[in-house]
Structure 1
Amino acid sequence: MTTEAKEANLPVAEPQVQDADVLVIGGGPAGTTAATLLARKGWKVVLLEKARHPRFHIGESLLPMNLPILERLGVLEQVRAIGVHKVGADFPVPDEAGTTHVFRFERAIDPQYGYAFQVRREEFDQLLFNHARANGVDARDEIAVERVEFEGDRPRTALARDKAGNAHTFRFRYLVDASGRDTFLGNKLKLKRRSRLHQSAAIFSHFRGVTRRDGADAGNITVDRFEHGWYWLIPLRDDVMSVGAVCFPEYLKQRRGDNETFLIQTLQARPSVWARMGDAERIAPVHATGNYSYTCSRMTGPGWVMVGDAYAFIDPVFSSGVFLGMNSAERAVEVVDGALREPGRESALQRAMEKRLKRGLGHFSWFIHRFTTPVMQHLFAHPRNDWQLEQAVISMLAGDVFDNRAVLRRLRIFRLLYAANALAMAPRAVRGWLKRRRQIGQSFDGDTLQAGNP
Structure 2
Amino acid sequence: MPSDAFPSPSTPASAPAGGGCDVLIIGGGPAGSTAAALLAAGGRHVVMLEKARHPRFHIGESLLPQNLRIFEKLGVAEAVRAIGVFKPGASFVSDEHGNKISFSFADGLNKTYTHSYQVHRAELDELLFRNAAAKGAEAHEDMLVTEVALGGARGSRVVARDAAGREHAWQARFVIDASGRDTVLAKQQGGKQRDAHTNTAAIYGHFRGVAPCEECPEGNITIHLLDDGWCWTIPLPEGITSVGVVGTPEFFKRRSGSFEEFLRESLEASPSVRARMREAELASAVTTTGNYSYRAQRMRGEGWLMVGDAFAFLDPVFSSGVMLAMASAELGAEAVDAWLDDPARAAPLLEAFERKVHRAIGSMSWLIYRINRPVLRDMFMQPSNRFRMRDGLVSLLAGDVHANTSRQLPVLAFKAVYGMLSLAHRLGYRLRGGKLQRVVPGLPAMAAE
TM-score where L is the length of structure 2: 0.90
Partner secondary structure for residue 402 of structure 1 = coil
Matched, 1:147 2:150: no
Same amino acid, percent of matched pairs: 47
The match for 2:90 is 89
Alignment partners' CA distance in 2, 1:34 and 1:320: 18
Instruction: Measure how far apart 1:215 and its partner are.
Output: 8.3
> 1:156–1:173: 8 Å Cα contact kept in structure 2?
yes
The match for 1:38 is 39
The match for 2:72 is 71
Q: For the structure 1 residues 418 and 155, does the alpha-carbon distance in structure 2 shift closer, same or farther, using more than 3 Å as the test?
A: farther
Alignment partners' CA distance in 1, 2:69 and 2:129: 18
Alignment partners' CA distance in 2, 1:378 and 1:96: 8
The match for 2:425 is 425
The match for 1:51 is 52
> 1:154–1:302: 8 Å Cα contact kept in structure 2?
no
Q: Which amino acid aligns with 2:206?
A: H
Q: Describe how 1:156-175 pairs up with structure 2 within 5 A.
A: 156-175=156-175
Instruction: Measure how far apart 1:408 and its partner are.
Output: 1.7
> 1:373–1:429: 8 Å Cα contact kept in structure 2?
no
The match for 2:19 is 18
Partner secondary structure for residue 355 of structure 2 = helix
Residues 289-331 of structure 1: CA deviation (Å, up to 9, x unaligned): 1111110111110001100000000100000000000000000
Q: Which amino acid aligns with 1:80?
A: R
Instruction: Measure how far apart 1:176 and its partner are.
Output: 0.6
Instruction: Measure how far apart 1:110 and its partner are.
Output: 2.4
Alignment partners' CA distance in 2, 1:217 and 1:260: 29
What stretches of structure 2 of length at least 5 have no aligned partner?
A: 1-15, 431-449
Instruction: Measure how far apart 1:203 and its partner are.
Output: 0.2
The match for 1:184 is 184
Alignment partners' CA distance in 1, 2:169 and 2:428: 58
> 1:401–1:408: 8 Å Cα contact kept in structure 2?
no
> 2:213–2:222: 8 Å Cα contact kept in structure 1?
no
The match for 1:375 is 375
Residues 203-235 of structure 1: CA deviation (Å, up to 9, x unaligned): 000001111246882211001111110000000
Partner secondary structure for residue 55 of structure 1 = coil
Instruction: Measure how far apart 1:112 and its partner are.
Output: 1.3
Alignment partners' CA distance in 2, 1:53 and 1:154: 33
Q: For the structure 1 residues 215 and 382, does the alpha-carbon distance in structure 2 shift closer, same or farther, using more than 3 Å as the test?
A: closer
Q: For the structure 1 residues 225 and 428, does the alpha-carbon distance in structure 2 shift closer, same or farther, using more than 3 Å as the test?
A: farther
Instruction: Measure how far apart 1:404 and its partner are.
Output: 2.6
Partner secondary structure for residue 425 of structure 1 = helix
Alignment partners' CA distance in 1, 2:23 and 2:429: 49
Q: For the structure 1 residues 285 and 246, does the alpha-carbon distance in structure 2 shift closer, same or farther, using more than 3 Å as the test?
A: same
Matched, 1:338 2:338: yes
The match for 1:123 is 123
Partner secondary structure for residue 193 of structure 2 = strand
Instruction: Measure how far apart 1:360 and its partner are.
Output: 1.2
Q: For the structure 1 residues 79 and 412, does the alpha-carbon distance in structure 2 shift closer, same or farther, using more than 3 Å as the test?
A: same
**What is the root-mean-square deviation in Å for CA atoms of aligned residues?**
1.6
Q: Which amino acid aligns with 1:240?
A: I
The match for 2:323 is 323
Instruction: Measure how far apart 1:357 and its partner are.
Output: 1.2
> 1:155–1:304: 8 Å Cα contact kept in structure 2?
no
The match for 2:275 is 275
> 1:62–1:116: 8 Å Cα contact kept in structure 2?
yes
Q: For the structure 1 residues 428 and 371, does the alpha-carbon distance in structure 2 shift closer, same or farther, using more than 3 Å as the test?
A: farther
Partner secondary structure for residue 238 of structure 2 = coil
Residues 251-302 of structure 1: CA deviation (Å, up to 9, x unaligned): 1111111100000000011111111111111010100011111101111100
Matched, 1:204 2:189: no
Residues 376-435 of structure 1: CA deviation (Å, up to 9, x unaligned): 0110111010111100000000000113322222212211100110111115699xxxxx
Partner secondary structure for residue 265 of structure 1 = helix
Partner secondary structure for residue 217 of structure 1 = coil
Q: Which amino acid aligns with 2:108?
A: A
Q: Which amino acid aligns with 2:86?
A: H
Alignment partners' CA distance in 1, 2:414 and 2:109: 14
Alignment partners' CA distance in 2, 1:24 and 1:132: 12
The match for 2:292 is 292
Q: Which amino acid aligns with 1:83?
A: G
Alignment partners' CA distance in 1, 2:57 and 2:379: 35
Q: Which amino acid aligns with 1:382?
A: Q
Q: For the structure 1 residues 173 and 155, does the alpha-carbon distance in structure 2 shift closer, same or farther, using more than 3 Å as the test?
A: closer
> 2:152–2:304: 8 Å Cα contact kept in structure 1?
no
Alignment partners' CA distance in 2, 1:290 and 1:177: 21
Alignment partners' CA distance in 2, 1:403 and 1:138: 35
The match for 2:256 is 256
Q: For the structure 1 residues 18 and 40, does the alpha-carbon distance in structure 2 shift closer, same or farther, using more than 3 Å as the test?
A: same
Q: Which amino acid aligns with 1:245?
A: V
> 1:33–1:73: 8 Å Cα contact kept in structure 2?
yes
Q: Which amino acid aligns with 1:20?
A: C
Partner secondary structure for residue 241 of structure 2 = strand
Partner secondary structure for residue 28 of structure 2 = coil
TM-score where L is the length of structure 1: 0.89
What stretches of structure 1 of length at least 5 have no aligned partner?
A: 1-14, 431-454
> 1:213–1:219: 8 Å Cα contact kept in structure 2?
no
Instruction: Measure how far apart 1:155 and its partner are.
Output: 5.2
Q: Describe how 1:361-400 pairs up with structure 2 within 5 A.
A: 361-400=361-400
Alignment partners' CA distance in 2, 1:387 and 1:160: 54
Alignment partners' CA distance in 2, 1:136 and 1:17: 16
Q: Which amino acid aligns with 1:344?
A: A
> 2:95–2:272: 8 Å Cα contact kept in structure 1?
no
Q: For the structure 1 residues 164 and 425, does the alpha-carbon distance in structure 2 shift closer, same or farther, using more than 3 Å as the test?
A: same
Alignment partners' CA distance in 2, 1:369 and 1:167: 43
Q: Which amino acid aligns with 1:79?
A: V
Q: Give structure 1 regions of 4+ aligned residues with deviation exceeding 4 angstroms.
A: 152-155, 427-430
Alignment partners' CA distance in 1, 2:105 and 2:178: 29
Instruction: Measure how far apart 1:94 and its partner are.
Output: 2.9
> 2:110–2:400: 8 Å Cα contact kept in structure 1?
no
Instruction: Measure how far apart 1:174 and its partner are.
Output: 0.5
Instruction: Measure how far apart 1:62 and its partner are.
Output: 0.2
Q: Which amino acid aligns with 2:350?
A: Q
Partner secondary structure for residue 292 of structure 2 = coil
How many residues are paired up? 415
Partner secondary structure for residue 329 of structure 1 = helix
> 1:87–1:216: 8 Å Cα contact kept in structure 2?
no
Residues 67-104 of structure 1: CA deviation (Å, up to 9, x unaligned): 0100111101000000000101001133344x310000
Alignment partners' CA distance in 2, 1:317 and 1:234: 12
Q: For the structure 1 residues 107 and 154, does the alpha-carbon distance in structure 2 shift closer, same or farther, using more than 3 Å as the test?
A: farther
